[in-house]
Structure 1
């Protein structure tokens, strides 16, 4: 089983990564970790370094990937959700595990939600970690 784990640097995305490491161990799954950004920065390096540490501590041998998208300025959450779905289709991932930011109705209406975009697409099983 191939599992995609998108991370954004938030605590809920790292809770999802922790869960994914345990999930991979239980189900003999291969993890693929990705962080989407409009460009590589010191902040993206820090996110990927922290992800490497979590993976290493969990005994998972994989390297997190940085995927750049110059169009992330407009409705970034929705755009990330669409990018995740493209990766799922292109690479044939069997499952997505991701965190979800708790936000109100107004925040979702304005900003969208990557997790919500993926769930509503109904293209791949998704585990959402709060």
Structure 2
């Protein structure tokens, strides 16, 4: 099983990474971490460093990847969801594990969109959502 774990720097995304690491070990799979951003910054480096710490603690030899998408200026969470789906297609992932911040109001969904919702709606691969 090839598992993709997008991280955004939030605690919930790192909980998703911990869950995915346990899942990978249980099912003898492989795991890949990606952070999607519109530009690399000090924050990007901090996110990658924290993801590396989790991977090392779990004994996983993978290097988190940073995907730069300069078109994230309009409805960024929907665009990030689309980028995740592109990675699933191009690299043949079998499963996606994502954290979700739990915003459920109609206003938040209408204005912000959701990368998780975009990936779930596509129904391309199984998705585990970690609250």
Q: Which interval holds the TM-score relative to the shorter structure?
A: over 0.9
Q: What is the CA distance between 1:29 and its match in structure 2?
A: 1.1
The root-mean-square deviation of aligned C-alpha atoms, in Å, is: 0.6
Structure 1 runs of 4+ with >4 Å offset: none
| Rounded Cα–Cα distance in structure 2 between residues aligned with 1:35 and 1:47 | 8
Unpaired stretches in structure 1, ≥5 consecutive residues? none
Q: TM-score, normalised by structure 1?
A: 0.98
| Rounded Cα–Cα distance in structure 1 between residues aligned with 2:8 and 2:106 | 21
Q: What is the CA distance between 1:108 and its match in structure 2?
A: 1.1
Q: Secondary structure at the match of 2:129?
A: strand
Q: TM-score, normalised by structure 2?
A: 0.97
Q: Which residue is 1:87 aligned to?
A: 87
Moved more, 78-87 or 98-107: 98-107
Unpaired stretches in structure 2, ≥5 consecutive residues? none
Q: What is the CA distance between 1:3 and its match in structure 2?
A: 0.5
Q: Which residue is 1:124 aligned to?
A: 125
Q: Which residue is 2:46 aligned to?
A: 46
| Rounded Cα–Cα distance in structure 2 between residues aligned with 1:8 and 1:64 | 12
Pairing 1:107–2:108 present: yes
Q: What is the CA distance between 1:117 and its match in structure 2?
A: 0.4
